[in-house]
Structure 1
Amino acid sequence: MRRHRRTAPAAALALAALLGLSAGHAGAGPEQVAADGDGRPLRIQGSVVVVEPDIELSEVTAGGMTEPRRDWSEAARRRYPTAVAERLAAAGVGRRPDFDVPDDLPASSRLGQVLRLNEAVALSIAYHARPGSELATKGDRLDWTLGGGVSELRAATGADYALFTYVRDSYASDGRKALRVLGLVAGAAFGGVVDIGGGRQVGVATLVDLRNGRVVWFNRIARQTGDLRDEAGARATAGELLQGLPL
């Protein structure tokens, strides 16, 4: 795994904004699967490549500041693709070798543009999948495409589909946990609930058909549970984020 490719600042902020979903729409989903010409859900027919996931883990300090943890993040970027590979193998899905994005890939290159376009499209789908935010032209249909430029990624990987993942995960420090307990105790003593909150996990995943650019599946998670810092947690997160994958 090479040095991590960081999300563009605007996209990182958009992903972080999805944390707001956890207040009233916590958990996973709603996953979406594109339909064929007869209205039936599409199914994977071909090989899948797991694109280097964009994952960052952070620690929430006692004062509520979020501090990125490089050691946690690098470990998660190794564990998550392994967990995904196990799930795909169990379902009998053909796989191509994972694709690590070159550190020196120019953002203006055709491949760089495809990766940035998918990032923007994935976050747009996540936004418009929220209740009340649906696009009138799409309704509840998964009808998004990256266009013919995805042929660059197909040429680089030899795969028929690409699985993209974006995750931001945070965990409360010991100081934060202590303050949270004190707040809950104080709230109970005075007849109210005072919860300053701890960590959160938010993620978006898309499966793109590299033969035509169509986004054939999408899912997101936004919750106050989940842990990517160990193998068991990586498997659990992969299981949640990949719910409804059209296997």
Structure 2
Amino acid sequence: MLSQRTCAIGPNPLPRTAFRGAWLALSLLAGLALSGCTSTQVRTATDASGKPEHIVGTVVLVEPDIELYAVGAGGMQEPREAWTLTARREFPIAARDILQAQGVPLKGDFMLPKDAGPENKLRQLTLLNQAVSISILSYARGDALRNKHGKFDWTLGPGVAALREATGADYALFTYIRDSYTSGGRAAMRIIGFLLLGGDVGGGMQIGLASLVDLRTGQVVWHNLLLDQTGDLRDPKGAHETAGDLLRGIRR
């Protein structure tokens, strides 16, 4: 029986994923230790006058990259296909509801073709966006998105034109989520670890990245990192809560 997560006694390790190297880099570059259950890092690009950029045009939700895992008593991450399929279904519904409630005009969701291999330009674009997100976490400071030279310069380049042509949208919303849940055995191990070792041996954690990219210019205009020890993507209510945290700060 898998239990719902509770707030951690101390910091947790990031889950293992198909993008293991990238998510390990995210862990190191974010430099965060949760002081509570949920932490976000929202950053918004600014215009020439220094005001936050607003969405002017339509948005397409790119197929979310989501994987869910169970954390066994020994701390190993075990992929759970049924949970993952539920999350991949419920999260886009919740994200659309939240964006529509804010008055954001949406295009139909964009799904990568099942046969899209590594050479596919649109698949390459999603991987590029992930790499840029890691760079943002590495170099960004304060509320504005800035590169290591102190200038706003985060872009995916002209290749975004292919996605605009495929969707007809002005912006693309990219989301990545890795979510893990502690088993009863692991929960017991955490308690024992705290009592005997004075620290947390780690449990479940929800980690999300989201970025809004202007498909007319390639610029990243909004970005968020979510770390959550209580979120749950396995039901509609939990998916809506996660979507609300991950999409916080998008401006219409």
Tell me the TM-score normalised to structure 2 length. 0.83
Contact 1:25–1:222, Cα closer than 8 Å, also in 2: no
Provide the rounded CA distance (Å) in 1 between the counterparts of 2:32 and 2:191: 24
2:209 is paired with a residue whose SS is strand
- 1:178 Cα shift? 2.0
1:154 is paired with a residue whose SS is helix
Contact 2:147–2:154, Cα closer than 8 Å, also in 1: no
Q: Does 1:234 align with 2:212?
A: no
Provide the rounded CA distance (Å) in 1 between the counterparts of 2:205 and 2:59: 29
1:199 is paired with a residue whose SS is coil
Match 1:35 to one of 16, 24, 46: 46
- 1:12 Cα shift? 4.4
- 1:16 Cα shift? 5.6
In structure 2, stretches of 5+ residues that fail to align are: 1-16
2:32 is paired with a residue whose SS is helix
Letter in structure 2 aligned against 1:210:
L
Residue correspondence of structure 1 range 198-237 to structure 2 within 5 A: 198-237=203-242
In structure 1, stretches of 5+ residues that fail to align are: 1-5
TM-aligned CA distance change 1:12 to 1:182, over 3 Å: closer
- 1:169 Cα shift? 0.9
TM-aligned CA distance change 1:9 to 1:174, over 3 Å: closer
- 1:24 Cα shift? 6.5
- 1:110 Cα shift? 2.6
2:33 is paired with a residue whose SS is helix
2:249 aligns with 244
Provide the rounded CA distance (Å) in 2 between the counterparts of 1:123 and 1:102: 25
Contact 2:126–2:174, Cα closer than 8 Å, also in 1: no
- 1:15 Cα shift? 4.3
1:128 aligns with 139
1:68 aligns with 79
Tell me the TM-score normalised to structure 1 length. 0.85
The sequence identity of aligned pairs, in percent, is 50
- 1:182 Cα shift? 3.4
Residues matched between the structures, number: 233
Provide the rounded CA distance (Å) in 1 between the counterparts of 2:71 and 2:186: 7
2:211 is paired with a residue whose SS is strand
Letter in structure 1 aligned against 2:74:
G
TM-aligned CA distance change 1:155 to 1:143, over 3 Å: same
- 1:143 Cα shift? 3.0
Mean Cα displacement is larger for which, 210-219 or 17-26? 17-26
Contact 1:76–1:230, Cα closer than 8 Å, also in 2: yes
1:182 aligns with 192
- 1:128 Cα shift? 2.8
Q: Does 1:137 align with 2:142?
A: no
Q: CA RMSD in A?
A: 2.4
Contact 2:154–2:219, Cα closer than 8 Å, also in 1: yes
